Structures are given as C-alpha cells and as structure tokens.
Amino acid sequence: MTCVGDGRVVGASGGSSKTLSTELARKSGARVKYRPSPQYRSDFVGYWVLPLAT
C-alpha cells in the first residue's frame, strides 16, 4: 500500500516480481487498486511519511 500525496492509497495484488508487462499481468490476474484513504482497513494503525531525497 502506498499513500499518494493527496491521501489516496494505491495498492497491488496478484502478479509477482517477474510480472514485467501488461500481458503477463493479465495472465496472472494482477490488479491495481485505488482507495480514497488508508482508513479503509479495519486494522489500520498509522503510517510513516518518508523523507524525500534531494
């Protein structure tokens, strides 16, 4: 799960580290999921903001 700057969350399921093309992603059933905020999870506790490299 990755929190985008405006609070939306992007996550992925399916596929593997060898899924390097859209064709392989379709064959393995990989999906990208968008959520409005991290609070969609009932077990959500909090998150860290990582510093940006300059």
Rg (CA), the chain: 14
Q: Is the pTM of this model over 0.85?
A: no
Structure confidence by residue, pLDDT tens digits, 29-41? 898 888 888 778 7
DSSP letter, residue 8: -
Task: Please check whether residue 34 is in contact with residue 9, taking contact to mean a CB–CB distance below 8 angstroms.
Answer: yes
Structure confidence by residue, pLDDT tens digits, 8-30? 888 888 888 888 888 888 888 89
